[in-house]
Amino acid sequence: MKGRALALAAGLALAASPALAQKVVRIVPHADVKVVDGHQTTATITGQHMASVYDSLFNWDSKLEAKPQMIETYTLSADKLTYTFTLRPGLKFHDGTAVTTKDVVASLKRMMARELLGRSLNEFAASVQAVDDKTFTLKMKEPFGPTLYTIAGGNSVYGGIYREKEALTDPNTPITESIGSGPFKFVKEEWVPGAKIVYAKNPDYVPRSEAPDGLAGGKVVKVDRIEYKVIADAATAFAALNAGEVDILDQPSMDLLGVIEKNPDVVLGEVQLLPGYGGLRPNFLHPPFNNPKARQALALMVDQREYAQAAYGAERWWKVCFGMYMCRGPYATEAGADAYRKQDLAKARQLMKEAGYNGEPITLIGASDIPTLNALTLMTAENLKKIGVNVDLQIADWGNVVTRRSKKDKPADGGWHIFHTTFGGTTGASPLTSLPTVTTCDKSWFGWACDQTAEDIRQKFIRETDAEKQKEQVEALHKRLWEVLPFIPLGEYVQPWPHRKNITGILKAPLFVYWNIDKS
């Protein structure tokens, strides 16, 4: 018996050994991970996945300036037409293979063919070519000031470097593997869609020597695992945080913050560098919202305070804003918005009739699992009814909304008329990166806003090097956008990230990231 007791005690001591104990941070994500290819979607949850699993050539710091990440050195020729980049030594994918310029060139070409920032760069680029395994060049047809900013890839959503064999996949075909070279490995064998996602520390990752700053600098991982625990019910998620069953709530329902505010073991932290903002996106492809009068009706049915109170909670978290490029950003303006500052349901009803609307079902798609978006959707459903619209309300989880919003089919055949989303202020604050204000028709963001006049002004902004002239162009563009109405702003808000007080090191960045986080 004595021997058995000693053996048991030794076993317990071994099991409790700090050397064997793992630091696990459990997070309730704001949505389930449905898409793991950052070239297919701008969904924030996919961006968080990309930032964890993949590394980027450059990343945005807390000032939204592009800083080297996978790049060791780079030069720009005197004529500003040739960039030469050299990769950092020791870069390895999670399968153990070395990262080479073949992977980089293929990834850049795929990114340049697919998304907003990439396509902007592609218009100026002449070629991207490998010199050797560590060095590559990017040659330009004409100078493009935001080249490095663009390569950084928009919140890491599509700036990540894939293995060549994945990067050679057609840009319109989703990649299903998640093997990057970033600070975390995606543990695919533990992935339970709709329930659990796991990211494990990558022991082979070599961080940069600089201090972490936004998405840039040294990505030092201080925990062993990040576990997503998908909890669709907001009250259940808050109860789990209160009880210490989870450590962090990612963008939770703001109307339930009072449940945890008095808990001394919970902190209301912030992640965003700039506030987020909500928006209503109409589909330009199908009647009635291919007619500007119908889009004007949407703008006039909105009372921003009503939407903000429903979606963002107490007034201390939000403010009314009629700026397409934020009211607290570098290009803040509300020019052109005066006609839409006050809700006018009667005029909205009349404009719908003038647009040719005659009672056809209007398909409004919404997300049940993201409380903010659910509240915005339900508010719009009620307001549409008030202006005489026959609402076909179709609610699903956000992953399904992300999939459906990419469909150009007629609404009756699986497409849609309207959906809501929220945008991060860091990308929404500039005409270069703001997705919903690009009006390039079939090449624009979901909803396919179409207006050549607005796009011409935006292109002038992109090519302009004088800061004061850029601001003038933003004013002109903003006035035009309020005529075109590619989306309807629904106010700015600050989103708290509640976490247990034993969680430290959460960075303020353009995206919620998991390096530098520690748990005591």
- Average pLDDT (427-447) is 92
pLDDT band at 89 (very low <50, low <70, confident <90, very high): very high
- What pTM was computed for the model? 0.81
- Average pLDDT (232-239) is 93
pLDDT band at 217 (very low <50, low <70, confident <90, very high): very high
Looking at the DSSP bridge assignments, the partners of residue 117 are none
* CA dist 467 → 323, 331, 354, 462, 470 (Å): 19, 10, 41, 11, 5
Answer left, alpha or beta for residue 139, where phi above 0 means left and psi between -120 and 50 means alpha: beta
Tell me, yes or no, whether 292 and 307 share the same domain: yes
Weakest-pLDDT range from 267-276, 294-303, 376-385: 267-276
Tell me, yes or no, whether 343 and 416 share the same domain: yes
* pLDDT score of 335 more than 70: yes
Query: Residue 21: which H helix or E strand, with range?
Result: none
Q: Judge whether 149 lies within some domain.
A: yes
Tell me, yes or no, whether 308 and 454 share the same domain: yes
Tell me, yes or no, whether 317 and 449 share the same domain: yes
pLDDT band at 2 (very low <50, low <70, confident <90, very high): very low
**From CA 396, how far away is CA 398, in angstroms rounded?**
7
Tell me, yes or no, whether 446 and 341 share the same domain: yes
Q: Judge whether 24 lies within some domain.
A: no
- For 202, half-sphere exposure in the C-beta direction (CA atoms, 13 angstrom radius) is 26
Tell me, yes or no, whether 148 and 282 share the same domain: no
Q: Judge whether 116 lies within some domain.
A: yes
Q: Judge whether 8 lies within some domain.
A: no
pLDDT band at 11 (very low <50, low <70, confident <90, very high): very low
pLDDT band at 1 (very low <50, low <70, confident <90, very high): very low
Tell me, yes or no, whether 345 and 444 share the same domain: yes
| DSSP character at residue 161 | P
* CA dist 64 → 153, 373, 513 (Å): 12, 27, 15
Position 445 scores a pLDDT of 92
Provide the CATH number for the domain around residue 297.
Answer: 3.10.105.10
Share of the chain above pLDDT 70, in %: 95
Q: Judge whether 22 lies within some domain.
A: no
Task: Tell me the one-letter amino acid at 283.
Answer: N
CA angle, 395 then 37 then 82, to 5°: 135
Provide the CATH number for the domain around residue 44.
Answer: 3.90.76.10
- Average pLDDT (493-498) is 92
Answer with the one of 145, 160, 181 that is the final residue of a domain.
181
Tell me, yes or no, whether 305 and 444 share the same domain: yes
Give the total number of structural domains in the chain. Answer: 3
Position 63 scores a pLDDT of 87
Q: Judge whether 1 lies within some domain.
A: no
* pLDDT score of 19 more than 90: no
- Average pLDDT (261-270) is 92
Tell me, yes or no, whether 56 and 152 share the same domain: yes
**From CA 234, how far away is CA 188, in angstroms rounded?**
26
Q: Judge whether 53 lies within some domain.
A: yes
Position 13 scores a pLDDT of 44
Share of the chain above pLDDT 90, in %: 77
pLDDT band at 67 (very low <50, low <70, confident <90, very high): very high
CB–CB of 153/160 below 8 Å? yes
Task: Tell me the one-letter amino acid at 208.
Answer: R
Q: Judge whether 204 lies within some domain.
A: yes
Tell me, yes or no, whether 500 and 407 share the same domain: no
Answer with the one of 161, 181, 201 that is the final residue of a domain.
181
* pLDDT score of 366 more than 90: yes
CA angle, 172 then 177 then 178, to 5°: 110
- Average pLDDT (355-360) is 97
Work out the mean pLDDT of the chain and round it to a whole number.
Answer: 92
Phi, psi dihedrals of residue 117, rounded to the nearest 5°:
-65, -45
Tell me, yes or no, whether 127 and 199 share the same domain: no
Provide the CATH number for the domain around residue 210.
Answer: 3.40.190.10
Structure-model confidence comparison of residues 408 and 423, the more confident one: 408
Answer with the one of 181, 205, 236 that is the final residue of a domain.
181
- Average pLDDT (245-256) is 92
**From CA 60, how far away is CA 151, in angstroms rounded?**
10
Quick: pLDDT tens for 146-160.
899 889 876 556 689
Q: Which domain holds residue 461?
A: 276-493
Tell me, yes or no, whether 398 and 280 share the same domain: yes
